[in-house]
Amino acid sequence: MTTPFYVSPQQAMADRAEYARKGIARGRSVVVLQYSDGILFVAENPSRALHKVSEIYDRIAFAAVGKYNEFENLRIGGVRYADLRGYTYDRDDVTARGLANVYAQTLGTIFSSAAEKPYEVELIVAEVGEAPEDDQIYRLPHDGSIVDEHGSVAVGGNADQISSYLDQRHRDGMTLAEALKLAVESLARDNNGGERSLTAEQLEVAVLDRKRPQQRKFKRVLGRQLSRLLESEGAAAEDSSVAESEAEDSEE
Amino acid sequence: MEANTRDTGRLPAAFLTPGSSSFMDFLGAHSPQLLPGNRPLPPLQGAVEAPHGTTIVAASFPGGVVLAGDRRATMGNVIAQRDIEKVFPADEYSAVGIAGTAGIAVEMVKLFQLELEHFEKVEGTVLSLEGKANRLSTMIRGNLGMAMQGLAVVPLFAGWDVDREKGRIFSYDVTGGRSEEHGFAATGSGSMFARGSLKKLYRDDLTEDQAVTAVVQALYDAADDDSATGGPDLARRIFPIVTVITDDGYKRYSEAEVSEVARAILERRLEEPDGPRAALL
């Protein structure tokens, strides 16, 4: 009979955290930032079908980086959780805080259970409020902790660097075009300080737009609308809210 | 270790099981008691007294489809509610109108809306119009036990078919049988009169405005001959609910817009109480 090697609990946890962090760091990043009319999600993602940003409920959206099958699983779990809650109580009773808690519990239990492999994911759950002060953004790292974020946040491969870049430049009340420009600039920065250029085809962009007349505030920004927003230089006078240009783009 | 997942506060296993994109399937697996058709009724004598919704009519026109309903709910000989709403958007491109037991019908619509939204969110794409109509069939079939005790729900489903680019209407029976209607359809207690009315008024080249007028006329005729169907109530400003679905999506007419149509019809009916006359030959 062989005796297993003794591994201290600290070491075991550190190894698991290291494993998860490495998995997450391999992927491209997602940034989430507040703008005057809502919350903007920008991911570097060449795929049109496999999304990193998705709708969960009326005012709640989800963004994730890491291993696709794991965060997709969590996303569907979240949609089921939100829909079940809204069905048993009321649509207003589905909150980002509740959802973030459930995600944190789920990730935390998986992380500390020796029988399961830790999830290599980092999530963002955001809810758009009636006013910018009511917006909520939660970041959920792989170990089940919750971080309440304000203004801007980045997750994924280059998160620290992108976050600090965003923190320095993000301000309250930016227009959609300004926020998008900042998000793309931050994603285009390389580890070693160089810049790449990102085109509309490489970006997955979505918003939670509080001005949207529909009950469901989530909207993907696609095609012409995205190119137009990316091209609008300076953007100071730009007031192209998503709701306005929606009709125009519907024939695409 | 993961035996009792409910205690840890994490998502129960059913939430993270890959597979179905159907909310109803998920509900059936996780909390079957929440499914409308899944509650055993105690054996009882006679029919249960519960508010019933009455007449729903639909008519298609080139470019879309109109779905409208009166506002009355009755319980036996009593008017249970004067301003009930019986026409609901199912999603961006379809709507459902319900006749039958109001309580069950409203719950069914809520679940149906969620079913479509859930599929859309999970799959990232919308169901085909046929697919939506079939889901509704399944739900009605699940209610058969209750229907046999007098708590039937018989909806009318209308929507814009994005692939075929036309408005389509589906009618149902209590067993969940589904049939596509061409041109126009009606369901509920006043449906015989509404259908008769539409038969004389309907043409397949109506404009949207004309189609709206035709369905409001049909509802007027239904209210004229069926005591359970409510006509326009000028004193209380209660008018039928009129919805139109085109390639721009679902749109509900405002009270002012419907009131204008209803008043115009009333005006004409002061002179001709039976409504417009059709040619004999």
Could you give the CA distance from residue B171 to residue B180 in angstroms, rounded to a whole number? 6
Contacts of A222 in chain B (CB under 8 A): none
Looking at the complex, does the CB of residue A121 fall below 8 Å from at least one CB of chain B? no
d(CA B275, CA B255): 22
Backbone phi, psi, residue B81, to 5° = -155, 135
Among candidate residues A108, A101, A113, A117, the one with its CA nearest the CA of residue A22? A117
Domain count for chain A, please give it. 1
User: Which contiguous run of DSSP H or E holds residue B68?
Assistant: strand B64-69
Q: Determine the residue of chain B that is closest to A112 in CA distance.
A: B1
> Given an 8 Å threshold on Cβ–Cβ distance, is B30 in contact with A86?
no
Nearest CA to B71 among B270, B237, B245? B237
**CA–CA separation, B124 and A83 (whole Å):** 16
pLDDT at residue B144 in the model: 87
Determine which helix (DSSP H) or strand (DSSP E) holds B207, and give its type and residue range: none
Whether A231 has a pLDDT exceeding 70, the answer reads yes
* Contact call for B121 and A80, based on CB within 8 A: no
Note whether A50 contacts B: Cβ–Cβ < 8 A.
no
Q: Which residues of B touch A (CB under 8 A)?
A: 1-2, 8-11, 14-16, 18, 23, 26-27, 30-31, 34, 110-111, 114, 117-118, 121-122, 124, 248
Instruction: Tell me, rounded to whole angstroms, the distance of Cα B93 from its chain centroid.
Output: 14
Residue A213 near chain B (CB below 8 Å): no
For residue A127, is pLDDT > 50? yes
Give A52 or B8, the one with higher predicted confidence.
Answer: A52
A77 part of contact set with chain B, CB < 8 Å: yes
pLDDT of residue A183: 95
Residue A249 has pLDDT above 50, yes or no: no
Model pLDDT, residue A251: 39
| Domain assignment of residue A252, yes or no | no
- Whether A2 maps to a domain, the answer reads no
Averaged pLDDT for residues A205-212: 95
| Residue-wise pLDDT tens digits, A54-78 | 999 999 999 999 999 999 999 999 9
Split at pLDDT 50, 70, 90, the class of A158 is: confident
Kindly determine whether residue B122 and residue A110, on different chains, have CB atoms separated by under 8 Å: no
Higher per-residue confidence, B5 vs A92: A92
Q: Which of B5, B6, B11, B107 to mutate to test the interface with A (most CBs of A within 10 A)?
A: B11
Res B16: pLDDT: 86
Rounded distance, CA B80 to CA A143, Å?
55
Residue whose tokens read 């169901």: B127
List the end-to-end C-alpha distance of chain B, in Å, as a whole number.
Answer: 81
Confidence class of residue A129 from pLDDT cuts 50, 70 and 90?
A: very high
Q: Among A86, A103, A105, whose Cβ lies nearest the Cβ of B8?
A: A105
Q: What is the mean pLDDT of residues B36-53?
A: 76
Query: What is the signed CA dihedral for B183, B188, B193, B195, rounded to 10 degrees?
Result: 10
Residue B54 is among the residues annotated as catalytic for this protein:
yes
Nearest 5 degrees, angle CA A183-CA A189-CA A190?
Answer: 145
Give yes or no for residue B188 having a pLDDT over 90: yes
Position A248 confidence tier, pLDDT thresholds 50, 70, 90: very low
Residue A234 pLDDT greater than 70, yes or no: no
User: In angstroms, rounded to a whole number, what is the distance separating the alpha carbons of residues A213 and B92?
Assistant: 13
Residue A207 lies in a domain: yes
Q: Does the pLDDT of residue A125 top 60, yes or no?
A: yes
Quick one: which of B230, B223, B221 has its CA closest to B275?
B221
- Check CB contact under 8 Å for B121 and A115: no
Residue A217 has pLDDT above 70, yes or no: yes
Average predicted confidence (pLDDT) for chain A = 88
CB pairs under 8 A between A and B: 69
Instruction: Tokens 């509309």: give the residue.
Output: A200
Q: Token pair for residue B133?
A: 């109509």
Q: Is the confidence at residue A244, as pLDDT, over 60? A: no
Among residues A20, A28, A30, which one has the least CA distance to residue A119? Answer: A20
- Which pLDDT score, from 0 to 100, does residue A207 have? 96
**Closest chain A CA to residue B21:** A76
For residue A119, being part of any structural domain is answered with: yes
Which residue among B5, B54, B229, B246 is the active-site one?
Answer: B54
Q: Give the per-residue pLDDT at B7.
A: 55
What is the reported pLDDT for A4? 77
What does the pLDDT read at residue A211?
Answer: 93
Mean pLDDT of all residues belonging to chain B: 91
> What does the pLDDT average to over A168-174?
93
CA distance to B109, B123, B201, per residue, from B34 (Å): 14, 23, 43
Indicate yes or no: CB of B117 within 8 angstroms of CB of A83.
yes
Range of the domain at A178: 9-243
User: Residue B59: is its pLDDT beyond 80?
Assistant: yes
pLDDT value, residue B3? 47
Rounded distance between C-alpha atoms, residue A66 and residue A123, angstroms: 9
- B65 vs B41, which has greater pLDDT? B65
Nearest CA-CA partner of B140 in B96, B81, B184, B183? B96
Residue of B16, B34, B110 with shortest CB distance to A73 = B16
Instruction: Identify which of A167, A145, A142, A136 has the alpha carbon closest to the alpha carbon of residue A154.
Output: A167
Domain-embedded: residue A3: no
Are residues B18 and A109, on separate chains, in Cβ contact within 8 Å?
Answer: no
Q: What span, in angstroms and rounded, lies between the C-alpha atoms of A78 and A68? A: 15
Look up residue B217 and give its amino acid.
Answer: Q
Residue-level pLDDT at A113: 86
Q: Which of A182, A232, A223 shows the shortest CA–CA distance to A204? A: A223
Confidence band for A239, pLDDT divided at 50, 70 and 90: very low
Chain B nearest-CA distance from A24, in A, is 20
What number is the average pLDDT over the span A112-119?
Answer: 88
Q: Residue B104's closest CA among B63, B65, B66, B53?
A: B53
Whether A86 sits inside 8 A of B10 (CB atoms) is no
* The pLDDT of residue A247: 47
**Residue A4: inside a domain, yes or no?**
no
pLDDT band at A252; cut points 50, 70, 90: very low
Q: Look up the CATH number of the domain holding residue A164.
A: 3.60.20.10
Interval A80-109: pLDDT, tens: 999 999 999 999 999 999 999 999 999 999
Give the minimum alpha-carbon distance from B203 to chain A in angstroms, rounded to a whole number. Answer: 29
Query: Residue A117 class from Cβ within 10 Å (0-12 exposed, 13-18 middle, 19+ buried)?
Result: middle
How does residue A233 score in pLDDT terms, banded at 50, 70 and 90? low
In this model, does residue A171 exceed pLDDT 80? yes
- Residue A103 located in a structural domain: yes
Pick the residue of A80, A212, A214 with the most B CBs within 10 A to test the interface with B by mutation. Answer: A80
- pLDDT > 70? residue A238: no
State residue A1's pLDDT score. 63
Give the mean pLDDT of A209-231: 91
Calculate how close chain A gets to B48, using CA atoms only, in Å. Answer: 25
Q: Is the pLDDT of residue B142 over 50?
A: yes
Which residues of chain A neighbour B121 with C-beta distances below 8 Å?
54-56, 79, 83
Q: Indicate the pTM of the whole model.
A: 0.89
Q: A67-75 long-range CB contacts below 8 Å, 24 or more apart?
A: A67/A23, A67/A119, A67/A120, A67/A121, A70/A119, A70/A120, A70/A121, A71/A119, A71/A121, A71/A123, A73/B16, A73/B18, A74/A103, A74/A106, A74/A107, A74/A119, A74/A121, A74/A123, A74/B11, A74/B16
A3 band by pLDDT with thresholds 50, 70 and 90? confident
Q: Are A89 and A98 in contact (CB under 8 A)?
A: no
Q: Is the CB of A54 inside 8 Å of chain B's CB atoms?
A: yes
Structural domains in chain B plus CATH codes: 51-271 (3.60.20.10)
Quickly count: other Cβ atoms within 10 Å of residue B43's Cβ.
6
Q: Could you tell me which chain A residue has the CA closest to the CA of B123? A: A76
Only one residue has tokens 């910018």, namely A132
3-state secondary structure of B72: coil
Region A174-201: what's the mean pLDDT?
A: 87
Q: What is the rounded CA–CA span in Å between residue B73 and residue B68?
A: 15
Look at residues B139, B4, B25 and name the one whose alpha carbon lies nearest to residue A84: B25
